[in-house]
Amino acid sequence: MALTNHFNPLVVIGKVIVTEKKSMQKSIIVNQDLKKGTKINYKNTSSMRPSNGISPLYIDKIIGRKLNFSKKKKMKLYFGKI
């Protein structure tokens, strides 16, 4: 489902509304190698530029979820992959 406002197009992913991303924004990354099934927490995540993954604004939406795939250090997180 797509919505629009006067500034940026909006996209609804589940119950989260994600705005168009700009290159100066950040993405949530893993800061260590993680295996499939590992729970995401504040200690194993960080944020980094550029943005094309999950915005740090949504960190509370992903804390406690389990990874569907193994991730290497500095890989970005995406809603469809966790």
Nearest to 81 by CA among 49, 51, 54, 48: 54
User: pLDDT digit of tens for each residue in the chain (82 aa)?
Assistant: 444 444 455 555 555 555 554 556 899 999 999 999 999 999 999 999 887 889 999 999 999 999 999 999 999 999 887 8
pLDDT of residue 6: 47
Q: Which domains does the chain have, with CATH numbers?
A: 22-81 (3.90.1210.10)
Give pLDDT, residue 38: 95
Res 50: pLDDT: 80
Is 67 within 8 Å of 36 (Cβ atoms)? yes
pLDDT the model gives residue 1: 47
